[in-house]
Amino acid sequence: MSQHAKPAGILLLLAILLLSLNLRPAIAAIGPLVQSISQFAGVKSVGISLLTSIPVLMMGLGAIYAGRIRQALGEGGGIAIGGAVIAIACLMRLWTDNSYGLFTSAALVGLGIAVIQALLPGFIKRNFGASTSSVIALYSNSIVVGAAIGSGTASWLEDQFGWLSTLASWSLPAVAATVYWLLASRRSQYEGRSSVQVTARSAPFWRIGRCWSLLLFFGIGTGAFMLAMAWISPFYIGLGLAKGTAGLLLSVLTIVEALTALWLSLVIGRFPDRRGLLATSLLLVAASYVMLIVAPLQAPYIAVSLLGVSIGLLFPLSIIVAMDHLKDPTLAGNFTAFVQGGGFIIASLVPLTAGSLRDAFNDLSYIWLLMTIASLGMLVLAIRFSPASYQRFQQDLAEIQVGEPKPA
């Protein structure tokens, strides 16, 4: 935390972690509540998938326009606005007992998440310097912990208060995190609002092949995460397990995921070459989905734990590797937003595809197989992400920027 005195840095880190805890519960709580949503709101499998896919699509669009969001809102205020939108969207669900209301609140949840995710990586790099990789890993870990809490408490909260109140309850921690952020970030370094057009730091990333391979990599990794959140519980309910047990399996998955991401945050500095970890995570993703195909009931806790370890590695690594490619905080933030933008759009199609296949075949084995093939295919990309290639990427980007016309 090179930019802060220690107490201020810890308070700011806590604000980041509290905010990131709120980036997935509104989505993760959907899976354990599938039966109630289907029964009382009349939503089928594709519609259930849309409640996950719509927020992920919004995250992608928000990331694509991260530079403009930063320019219009500034980092500090923009992140606070994102938290407020999440709180409002969750509160709306108290009165949305139909598909249209649920889809609208899902879009607003996605918008709030999108703003925060577009601005936080650059903010972290600006404020934590050499500790950026560890803080990004903690930030990713906190996202996963939020998902674990959201999925793990959903069934119990539904039994106590009903499914609408369960979905709406996440407005309270979102409000608390937003207020604390406003207090803790007052003296931090952040880029403010600007009427000046985005300059050369909004580089033509799309002209470099590495950008697209990182984008695809992030999309597959996030798709595996979102697929698990949306469909692990319904999958096991369909196999005959009780709703509470199926929810517990999703909680185990996300807890293992969180612990793995926490471990990664502590050791990531020992792995300047990330390729070994990337390859391991992809092989574990493939192995876990194979288990879901061939033996889902023989060892369900082992299957979901294996999937938790794989996603706990892959999701934060896909962000860290993108951040590794550039040193300038704003440029790195814009680049990460580009990668996340396209990646989230790809990821939004994964649970939607799962819902379509489930409606067509009453079986999720086909999507497990597709994810297995995709994960193994990503190994071809992962072995190319060497530290030496970061320098080549920066040189390629510099050459393209030199050839770009100067802004008027």
CATH code, domain with 55? 1.20.1250.20
Amino acid letter, 197:
Q
In a domain? residue 240 = yes
CA atoms within 13 A on the CB side of 216: 14
- Structure confidence at residue 406 (pLDDT): 44
Residues 6+ apart with CB under 8 A from 269: 133, 134
Question: DSSP string spanning 310-372?
Answer: HHHHHHHHHHHHHHHT--SHHHHHHHHHHHHHHHHHHHHHHHHHHHHHHHHHS-SHHHHHHHH
Q: Is 382 exposed, middle or buried (0-12, 13-18, 19+ CB in 10 A)?
A: buried
Nearest-5° angle of CA 329, CA 111, CA 250? 95
Q: Report the candidate in 82, 78, 31 with the shortest Cα–Cα distance to residue 243.
A: 31
Q: Which residue has the tokens 């994102």?
A: 82
Residue 100 forms part of a structural domain: yes
> Distance between CA 294 and CA 286 in Å, rounded?
12
The runs of H, that is alpha helices, within 30-98 are 34-41, 45-64, 66-73, 75-92
Residues 6 or more apart from 267 whose CB is under 8 A from it?
none
- Per the CB < 8 A criterion, the answer to whether 235 and 367 are in contact is no
- Does 78 reside within a domain? yes
Note down the domain range covering 218: 8-191+201-402
Rg for the chain (alpha carbons), in Å? 20
- pTM for this model (two decimals): 0.78
Contacts of 168 (CB under 8 A, 6+ apart): 90, 91, 92, 93, 94
**CA 311 – CA 301 distance, rounded (Å):** 15
Check residue 233 and give its pLDDT: 85
Asked whether 130 and 4 are in contact (CB, 8 A), the reply is: no
- What pLDDT, on the 0 to 100 scale, is given for residue 90? 96
Res 13: pLDDT: 92
| 196 found inside a domain | no
Q: Which pair of tokens denotes residue 404?
A: 């770009």
What string of DSSP letters covers 135-177?
HHHHHHHHHHHHHHHHHHHHHHHHHHH-HHHHHHTTHHHHHHH
Do residues 383 and 279 lie in contact, with contact meaning Cβ atoms separated by under 8 Å?
A: yes
CA distance 262 to 302: 20
What's the N-to-C CA distance of the chain in angstroms? Answer: 38
CA distance 319 to 233: 27
pLDDT at 195: 44
Q: Is residue 216 a part of any domain in this protein? A: yes
Residue 2 belongs to a domain: no
Q: What is the pLDDT of residue 3?
A: 46
Specify if 123 maps to a domain: yes
3-state secondary structure 245-313: HHHHHHHHHHHHHHHHHHHHHHHHHHCCCCHHHHHHHHHHHHHHHHHHHHCCCCCHHHHHHHHHHHHHH
pLDDT at 194: 52
Residue 227 covered by a domain: yes
CA gap 3, 189 in Å, rounded: 8
Mean pLDDT per 10-residue section of the chain, whose length is 408 residues: 56 93 92 84 84 90 79 86 96 88 93 89 81 82 84 88 94 96 80 48 74 88 85 88 83 86 84 92 94 92 93 86 80 78 89 87 90 92 89 83 52
Q: Largest alpha-carbon pair distance within the chain?
A: 65
Give the chain's domain count: 1
pLDDT of residue 282: 94
Report the SS3 class of residue 115: helix
Please tell me whether residue 209 adopts helix, strand or coil conformation. Answer: helix
